[in-house]
């Protein structure tokens, strides 16, 4: 059992290393949250949902106005690379990159990466080869944009995490493709 787990871990490590090699010399360019692609939009999308979800005992209009005002100060801080109150734009951007969950491993490798069409083709070829060798089954979903869902507990204490997924279904469609491959293996074998 332990040998089987180690063998699988070795396969994943090798495959991940080969995928990272597609981006040589700069693996960090594959990360979907980078300085060059972070833009704060105002007013932020979803602020109405956030208002309703976090209003507490305050009237909705009052809480929504507060969030709009906070986001306007945040826009100013981002535009001029400043600190406004507890919000420090450069610090927050660094924390946002560090706290973004785009690469996970929990018995299955899950990645959300930013690729060119050429890198996409190379990664697809690596995965197809690994599947032909019987090393892995996989599912992918390619989209033109990413979606970020944020949990913010405390900006002051740097307690926030950002979940990254591909738009248009992301992990859901990748999981569907994986299940189809696994079903084909079971059906064939």
Distance, in Å, from the CA atom of 93 to the CA atom of 78, rounded to the nearest integer, reads 9
The answer to whether the beta carbons of residues 175 and 139 sit under 8 Å apart is: yes
For 29-74, the pLDDT digits (tens) are 888 888 888 888 888 888 888 899 988 888 999 999 999 999 999 9
- Average pLDDT for residues 93-121, to the nearest whole number? 87
Q: What's the pLDDT score for residue 187? A: 77
Q: What's the pLDDT score for residue 114? A: 92
Say what the pTM is. Answer: 0.75
Residue 81's Cβ-count burial label (10 Å; 0-12, 13-18, 19+) is exposed
Distance, in Å, from the CA atom of 28 to the CA atom of 102, rounded to the nearest integer, reads 12
24, β-bridge pairs = none
Assign 38 to helix, strand or coil. coil
For 143-157, the pLDDT digits (tens) are 988 888 888 888 778
Q: What's the pLDDT score for residue 66? A: 93
Distance, in Å, from the CA atom of 130 to the CA atom of 151, rounded to the nearest integer, reads 35
- Phi, psi torsion values for 9, nearest 5 degrees: -60, -40
Q: What's the pLDDT score for residue 179? A: 92
pLDDT at 19 over 70: yes
Q: What's the pLDDT score for residue 46? A: 83
pLDDT at 21 over 70: yes
């Amino acid at each position: 059992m332990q040998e089987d787990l180690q063998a699988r871990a070795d396969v994943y490590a090798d495959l991940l290393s080969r995928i990272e090699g597609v981006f040589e010399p700069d693996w960090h360019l594959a990360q979907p949250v980078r300085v060059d692609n972070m833009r704060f939009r105002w007013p932020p999308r979803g602020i109405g949902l956030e208002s309703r979800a976090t209003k507490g005992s305050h009237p909705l209009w009052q809480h929504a106005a507060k969030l709009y005002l906070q986001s306007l100060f945040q826009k100013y801080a981002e535009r001029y690379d400043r600190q406004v109150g507890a919000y420090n734009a450069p610090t927050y951007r660094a924390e946002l990159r560090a706290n973004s969950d785009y690469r996970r491993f929990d018995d299955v490798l899950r990645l959300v990466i930013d690729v060119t069409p050429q890198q996409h083709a190379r990664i697809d070829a690596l995965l197809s080869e690994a599947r032909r060798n019987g090393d892995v089954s996989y599912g992918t979903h390619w989209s033109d944009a990413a979606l970020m869902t944020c949990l913010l507990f405390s900006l002051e204490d740097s307690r926030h995490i950002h979940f990254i997924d591909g738009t248009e279904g992301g992990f859901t469609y990748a999981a569907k493709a994986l299940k189809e491959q696994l079903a084909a293996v079971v059906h064939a074998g």
